[in-house]
Structure 1
């Protein structure tokens, strides 16, 4: 173990992974591992010598997606749950995802603008993270070049409203990162032939379509210029020169190193601006255990120092000093017990780790699909506020497959698959693709107009859909417009109690 190494950085790209050591003064490349079984085994061999030094993972790949959307402006736990649900809908197939509030709309309902980003190809990263977990390495987090460029712009006080940073990396290609008021909005990576130096014309051909795309998604107004910051190194040849226009204004930044990414990473490490973006809690568990262990160690040391400080001035009063020492040790005991429970939480298992992971994930998936009728009733009750004449007389709820899963099941049956409906539903529960299905029966009481009854039911449907996330299918309404419907009128002005039936469906969140 090299005591000078404070942090290790694993730079992952499509063809290989590079290991760097951060000593507090600079970044040094240590190893390069090919993206195959031999490379993963070589990384594991390296970790046998030192598995205690924390790791940070930097992913430089094409498959980093950025999507923009808006949500209702709410606060506290409601915002967290809404962001969690929307993020799950945006990126279902990867655990490496992030939702960030980037502002509010200036008119209308003034909804929150949200940037959803994710590493959409987990197969690229999983073999490396699995190796780190098997070796019990403390992983601090995962970040990407786009967010390192954001930190670089902040350090160098690049506060332009619209800014594109272009870097040419020898192992990956040409990366364009768009910042709006200093915040990442979009990043793209394009491959290039490494035998050729990148010219100004080549970069212009890359930037112009990016500018048009930003206009199309309404991030950049048509009449606003975009500042383009180009990092120049030994990989570039700008002898043909850039031509400024009303839309694009170029600036060249000369660099001593060949990699703008490594320079931005070094700046972020010096300023401690490398923060976790995409690493889930499960990947960081050994880092958290180390944090708890360190906290317990410091608390124990503090306890012992405090005890010594209290004993020394009262050396002659031995009995009193002994009582204080015992008191501190009693306070220390539950903390050590907590540490022991944490340590025993990761025992050696008699089965393979991947098999244990499947068992735990399947158990969690089944637990996550457990229905709580109180929650559904609370949502339906909340939707009835302000609708005084509606009375509910019956409920029937069940778990069913989500619409996407039902469509897939129907296609399999049409193809000749011999699978029972119960087997389809069981697999959907394991895959966490189920939905809560509720049939609600009710009537509108003490009302003299079918149209008024219809309006109240429609308001009830809107509240269920917009405020509580239900998909509502009306099975029967007070005004039934079907060819076989019968409508009865009262001409004496007396009240009517028309019935209605609704089908509510809401996908269960894992």
Structure 2
């Protein structure tokens, strides 16, 4: 049995898998009563190790160029960048070398990412810790979504992956040759009772994202 804690910025869902089959789920509201129900739930169910998945608007990505150096020196440089940009979120940061500059001294291109408001998940993590439930890690949706690229056969070139996890938002994640470049979540005014117009509502957001990516020279004009 596998367990996943899934946080979408408001409520927390707990999902259970047996093999590749989803066999159960429960959701909890971010209220005092909801946290109490979550605490009771963890206390009364089997203590299965879990993973924590986050999908929130409060996440930032940036590309930085750093000298091409050894691992230890690279980690030191990245550590200083994280301290500069994400000092309040240092425990919730991600970094990955995603390429090399083709000009000049051929610097490494590093992706930095962070939850900019980690306090959102603290109440849930506190209950998990209180109930002594082991967590193998905390991931965000953009980071793990690159695993979908092989499934949809889109591992080369620029790919803008558009997905919807909750009715009010769409997420747009840019990949280049299978590497995560950037991701953002946009709010849309979708009727929770009617999802047939998702394409119409998402199109303006996708167009705005493409224009922004072009302005940042992250994708070609064509």
Match of 1:209, SS state, is helix
Query: Residue in 2 aligned with 1:73?
Result: 68
Q: Which residue of 2 aligns with 1:36?
A: 31
> In the alignment, is the contact (CA less than 8 A) between 2:5 and 2:13 conserved in 1?
yes
Equivalent residue in structure 1 for 2:138, among 116, 139, 142: 142
CA distance in 2, matches of 1:24, 1:169: 23
Partner secondary structure for residue 169 of structure 1: coil
Deviation at 1:172, TM superposition (A): 4.9
* Of 13-22 and 154-163, the range deviating more from structure 2: 154-163
Aligned to 2:15: 20
Matches for 1:289-304 after TM superposition, within 5 Å:
none
The reply to whether residue 98 of structure 1 matches residue 94 of structure 2 is: yes
Q: CA deviation at 1:199?
A: 4.2
**C-alpha displacement of 1:211:** 0.7
- State the SS of the aligned residue for 2:103: coil
In the alignment, which residue of structure 2 is the partner of 1:183?
179
1:128 aligns with 2:128: no
- Find the aligned partners of 2:63 and 2:44 in 1 and give their Cα distance: 44
Count of residues in correspondence between the two structures: 218
Secondary structure at the counterpart of residue 125 of structure 2: helix
Write the distance in 2 (CA, Å) between the matches of 1:60 and 1:53: 22
Alignment-derived partner of residue 209 in structure 2: 210
Q: Structure 2 unaligned segments of length 5 or more: list them.
A: none
- Which runs of structure 2 are paired with 1:76-87 in the superposition (5 Å)? 76-87=71-82
Work out whether 1:9 is the aligned partner of 2:4: yes
Contact in 1 for aligned 2:17/2:24 (Cα 8 Å): no
1:61 paired residue number: 56
Q: CA RMSD in A?
A: 1.6
> Which one has a larger percent helix, Structure 1 or Structure 2?
1
CA-CA distance at 1:202 after TM superposition = 2.3
Offset of residue 49 of structure 1: 2.3
Instruction: Write the distance in 2 (CA, Å) between the matches of 1:45 and 1:119.
Output: 28
Instruction: Give the one of 109, 115, 118 matched to 1:113.
Output: 109
Matches of 2:75 and 2:166, distance apart in 1: 39
- 2:25 & 2:151 partners in 1: Cα distance? 27
Q: Which runs of 5+ in 1 are unaligned?
A: 1-5, 224-510
The correspondence for 1:164, drawn from 160, 180, 195, is: 160
1:97-496 alignment runs, 5 A limit: 97-170=93-166, 172-192=168-188, 193=190, 194-197=192-195, 198-223=197-222
Secondary structure of the equivalent of 2:138? strand
Structure 1 runs of 4+ off > 3 angstroms? none
Residues 90, 116 of structure 1: 8 Å contact kept: no
State the shift of 1:209 in Å.
1.0
Aligned with 1:205: secondary structure? helix
CA separation of 1:30/1:201 partners in 2, compared to 1, >3 Å: closer, same or farther?
closer
Quick one: structure 1 residues 51 and 70, their matched pair in 2 at CA, closer, same or farther if it must change by over 3 Å?
farther
Taking the aligned partners of 1:171 and 1:46, their CA distance within structure 2 comes to 26
Q: CA deviation at 1:50?
A: 3.6
State the shift of 1:171 in Å.
5.1
CA contact (8 A) 2:3 2:16 kept: yes
Structure label with greater radius of gyration = 1
SS in 2 for 1:89: helix
Q: Given that residues 4 and 52 in structure 2 are in contact (C-alpha distance below 8 angstroms), is that contact kept between their aligned partners in structure 1?
A: yes
Per-residue deviation at 1:51?
A: 5.7
